[in-house]
């Protein structure tokens, strides 16, 4: 059981995350964002729930669906959004784009290659163990990514060497159009941890307080030098796999049900109302989040694109635009 203060903090962060994604949707519709866009709308409970347990010095490596994890890690929303819009003011001066943001100041990065977050996070974990630091490497993966060999190779090595690797599985039941049940032998991914002598947890990812509790326990376990952990959080992806995906592989009734019953923001709002918080306060929280991200969107829209003459710069360390 947690008090209202942390739940209100989670609620606020979840609204900031959703408002951030809504701003990105605006940029997609207007074609200011080029290429694919994968949003985490509906999955905010997981990133907001893990956020209080992350240190800046931990290394977190996310996926193609990475915006929420970046915000949870403390990445500056303006620099992140500018990167997604491929602006010169972005985290990587617009060269990484939406799938490859990298922020050295918060040890945050992401990769669009499914399953590739795991070995990079393992590298963080190995480095932290060698330096005798109690930081952890966190790999985010979807349920599709878990069926890659990298999951098994990294879990095996981390367990053999007792490395502080945290594998966070966001199970939204689909890898693009493929239902997890059609391609996964075990009933649950977190149970696979036991095969490597590692510890696993499962949690309702639409319940932000539950995610907070489980992630707190799992990360503390890994920080204490007990080896790797797997946390599987069940959630729903409200939109298509990417913007433009017709999402015809999920029956309408299923999509409606996940929105009606599995929205982490609506669920937190109900709990806060039950605890006596007023509708005015909760509405104001939402409106402030939308105002913040709306202002960020307007700023980013006005930022400059990289100059075409610098297209080949920054490929190697020390190479600049001169």
Among 10, 18, 53, 64, binds ligand TPP (CB under 6 A): 64
Of 21 and 170, which has the nearer Cβ to ligand TPP?
170
- What is the closest distance, in whole angstroms, from the C-beta atom of residue 321 to ligand TPP in the complex? 29
What's CA 95's distance to the chain center, in Å? Answer: 20
* 69 near ligand TPP (CB under 6 A): no
CB 135 within 8 A of CB 170: no
Phi/psi for 183 (5° steps) reads: -130, 10
Of 94 and 205, which has the nearer Cβ to ligand TPP?
205
Of 46 and 271, which has the nearer Cβ to ligand TPP?
46
Among 6, 34, 57, 113, binds ligand TPP (CB under 6 A): 113
Tokens of 260: 């009606």
Q: How far apart are CA 83 and CA 285, in angstroms?
A: 26
Q: What is the DSSP letter of 28?
A: H
- What is the closest distance, in whole angstroms, from the C-beta atom of residue 240 to ligand TPP in the complex? 10
Largest CA distance in the chain: 59
Helix orientation angle between 4-29 and 264-274, rounded to the nearest 10 degrees? 150
Tokens of 299: 């700023």
- What is the closest distance, in whole angstroms, from the C-beta atom of residue 257 to ligand TPP in the complex? 18
Of 23-62, binders to ligand TPP (CB under 6 A) are: none
Considering only 18-26, 80-88, 169-177, 299-307, which stretch makes contact with ligand TPP by CB under 6 A? Answer: 169-177
The 128-147 site mask, x for binding ligand TPP (CB under 6 A), equals -------------xxxxx--
Considering only 19-27, 111-119, 254-262, 273-281, which stretch makes contact with ligand TPP by CB under 6 A? Answer: 111-119
The H helix count followed by the E strand count for the chain is: 11, 9
Phi/psi for 249 (5° steps) reads: -80, -10
Tokens 């032998």 found at = 185
From residue 259, alpha-carbon distances to 34, 77, 206, 283, 284 in Å are 28, 26, 11, 19, 22
Among 65, 189, 267, 286, binds ligand TPP (CB under 6 A): 65
Among 2, 160, 176, 311, binds ligand TPP (CB under 6 A): 176
Q: What is the DSSP letter of 48?
A: H
Q: How far apart are CA 177 and CA 319, in angstroms?
A: 41
From residue 20, alpha-carbon distances to 36, 280, 286 in Å are 16, 22, 12
The 238-257 site mask, x for binding ligand TPP (CB under 6 A), equals ---x----------------
The 201-240 site mask, x for binding ligand TPP (CB under 6 A), equals ------------------------------------x---
Among 112, 127, 213, 216, binds ligand TPP (CB under 6 A): 112
Considering only 48-56, 166-174, 214-222, 248-256, which stretch makes contact with ligand TPP by CB under 6 A? Answer: 166-174
Q: Which residues bind ligand TPP (CB under 6 A)?
A: 64-65, 112-115, 141-145, 170, 172, 174-176, 237, 241
């Amino acid at each position: 059981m947690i008090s209202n203060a942390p739940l209100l903090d989670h609620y606020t962060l979840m609204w900031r995350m959703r408002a951030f994604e809504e701003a990105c949707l605006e940029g997609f519709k207007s074609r200011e964002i080029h290429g694919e866009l994968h949003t985490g709308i509906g999955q905010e409970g997981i990133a907001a729930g893990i956020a209080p347990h992350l240190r800046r010095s931990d290394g977190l490596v996310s996926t193609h669906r990475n915006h929420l994890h970046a915000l949870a890690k403390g990445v500056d929303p303006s620099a992140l959004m500018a990167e997604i819009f491929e602006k010169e003011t972005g985290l990587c001066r617009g060269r990484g784009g939406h799938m490859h943001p990298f922020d050295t100041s918060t040890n945050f990065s992401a990769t669009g290659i499914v399953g590739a977050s795991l070995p990079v996070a393992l590298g963080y974990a190995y480095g932290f163990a060698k330096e005798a630091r109690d930081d952890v490497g966190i790999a985010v993966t979807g349920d599709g990514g878990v069926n890659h060999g990298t999951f098994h190779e990294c879990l095996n090595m981390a367990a053999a060497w007792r490395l502080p690797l945290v594998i966070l599985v966001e199970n939204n039941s689909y890898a693009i159009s493929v239902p997890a049940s059609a391609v996964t032998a075990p009933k649950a991914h977190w149970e696979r941890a036991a095969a490597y002598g590692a510890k696993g947890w499962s949690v309702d990812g639409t319940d932000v307080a539950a995610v907070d509790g489980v992630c707190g326990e799992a990360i503390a376990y890994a920080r204490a030098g007990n080896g790797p952990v797997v946390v599987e959080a069940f959630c729903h992806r409200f939109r298509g796999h990417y913007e433009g995906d017709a999402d015809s592989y999920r029956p309408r009734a299923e999509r409606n049900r996940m929105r009606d019953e599995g929205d982490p923001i609506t669920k937190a709002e109900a709990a806060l109302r039950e605890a006596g918080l007023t509708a005015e306060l909760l509405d104001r929280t939402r409106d402030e989040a939308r105002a913040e991200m709306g202002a960020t969107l307007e700023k980013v829209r006005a930022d400059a694109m990289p100059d075409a003459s610098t297209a080949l710069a920054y490929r190697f360390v020390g190479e600049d635009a001169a």
